[in-house]
């Protein structure tokens, strides 16, 4: 069965059509449905290397064609368990083994230590001849100098309240392009009846102000500051106490990580972040996610992490 595509609007007339309108018939084009989904799925490779990691990990899955019967992408159901996956630093090659429970390939970090300034090559081969590869160079570390803990006043449900956030500060190394991502968590005590786990943890959220990524464009060699990282869902009243689900919260510490990343990592995470912002919006422009995988899709990149902990009374 063939579909008929036309660029003409349906027109209802009683008289003969003008010549220019009748010419729309020439814009018809018959399309064979079997050709719409001819492109086969491709290998999707995701791996980020860091000197601070304890394991070498690579995720291998398959892309799902746009017109496929399922919409899954990069899920465990799409995983490729029978590939040969190797990492090399130019002198040593290490084979990674598939972990069925977590659906990724892994090896102990001791088999191939990740060091700043060194270039690593990833090679993926499947039994049917597919081949995907990429390389990355690990950036040097940039020290996180301090964490600033602050608050702002908001009108929440008709009442003035304070909302707390943190910022990270560091000095950018001069004379080179640098890319950063800030991540972190906060720990807090929950005071209330019948609590089995009084000390809990939440992730810092950058969603209210841009995202967690930064570059040193126009600020090369200068002090840099992150966007505000909020304590998600934690609001304080004017008395300094926070009420949420009839419990009392007290933030005890903030742990912040500064990731000095390569360009591939930055571009990939930036695209993923912008894609998430427009997800579900039918009027938004689609955000293409860049790939640096030859013979496949995905991202193979490196970063170097520094960590600072702010203890609060």
Enter the tokens of residue 256.
């912040």
Sign of the Cα torsion 114, 117, 118, 119 reads positive
Please write the tens of the pLDDT for every residue from 228-244: 999 865 544 444 444 44
| 196 pLDDT tier (thresholds 50, 70, 90) | low
Q: Which of 119-123, 226-230, 273-277, 294-298 has the lowest mean pLDDT?
A: 273-277
Domains of the chain: 3-31 (no CATH), 43-137 (2.60.40), 144-262+303-311 (2.60.40)
**Of 201, 208, 199, residue with least CA distance to 277:** 208
Mean pLDDT of 276-290: 81
| 131 pLDDT tier (thresholds 50, 70, 90) | very high
Of 307 and 41, the one with more pLDDT: 307
pLDDT of residue 39: 58
pLDDT of residue 200: 81
Q: How far apart are CA 162 and CA 243, in angstroms?
A: 12
pLDDT of residue 100: 94
> What are the backbone angles phi and psi of residue 202, rounded to the nearest 5°?
-135, 160
| 30 pLDDT tier (thresholds 50, 70, 90) | low
Can you list the positions of beta strands (E) in the chain?
3-5, 29-31, 43-49, 55-62, 84-88, 93-99, 104-108, 119-125, 131-137, 144-156, 159-171, 179-191, 199-205, 213-215, 223-225, 229-236, 242-244, 247-261, 297-311
Q: What angle do CA 82, 76, 96 make, to 5 degrees?
A: 40
Whether residue 82 contacts residue 100, with contact meaning beta carbons closer than 8 Å, is answered with: no
């Amino acid at each position: 069965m063939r579909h008929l595509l036309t660029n003409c609007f349906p027109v209802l007339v009683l008289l003969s059509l003008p010549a220019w309108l009748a010419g729309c018939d020439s814009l018809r084009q018959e399309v064979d449905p079997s050709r719409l989904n001819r492109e086969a799925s491709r290998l999707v490779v995701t791996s980020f290397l860091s000197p601070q990691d304890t394991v070498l990990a690579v995720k291998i899955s398959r892309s799902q064609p746009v017109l496929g019967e399922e919409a899954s992408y990069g899920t465990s159901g799409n995983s490729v368990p029978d590939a040969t996956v190797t990492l090399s630093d130019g002198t040593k090659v290490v084979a990674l083994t598939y972990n069925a429970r977590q659906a990724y390939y892994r090896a102990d970090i001791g088999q191939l230590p990740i060091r700043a300034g060194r270039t690593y090559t990833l090679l993926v081969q499947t039994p049917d001849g597919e081949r995907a590869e990429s390389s990355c160079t690990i950036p040097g570390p940039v020290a996180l100098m301090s964490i600033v803990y602050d608050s702002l006043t908001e009108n929440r449900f008709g009442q003035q309240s304070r909302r707390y956030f943190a910022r990270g500060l560091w000095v950018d190394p001069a004379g080179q392009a640098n890319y950063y991502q800030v991540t972190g968590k906060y720990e807090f005590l929950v005071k209330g009846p019948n609590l089995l786990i009084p000390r809990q943890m939440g992730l810092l959220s950058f969603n209210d102000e841009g995202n967690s990524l930064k570059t040193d464009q126009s600020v090369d060699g200068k002090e840099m500051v992150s966007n505000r990282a909020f304590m998600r869902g934690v609001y304080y009243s004017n008395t300094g106490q926070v009420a949420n689900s009839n419990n009392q919260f007290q933030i005890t510490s903030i742990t912040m990580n500064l990731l000095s990343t390569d360009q591939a990592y930055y571009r990939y995470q930036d695209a993923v972040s912008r894609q998430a912002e427009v997800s579900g919006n039918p009027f938004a422009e689609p955000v293409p996610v860049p790939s640096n995988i030859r013979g496949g899709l995905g991202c193979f990149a490196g970063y170097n992490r520094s960590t600072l902990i702010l203890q609060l009374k």
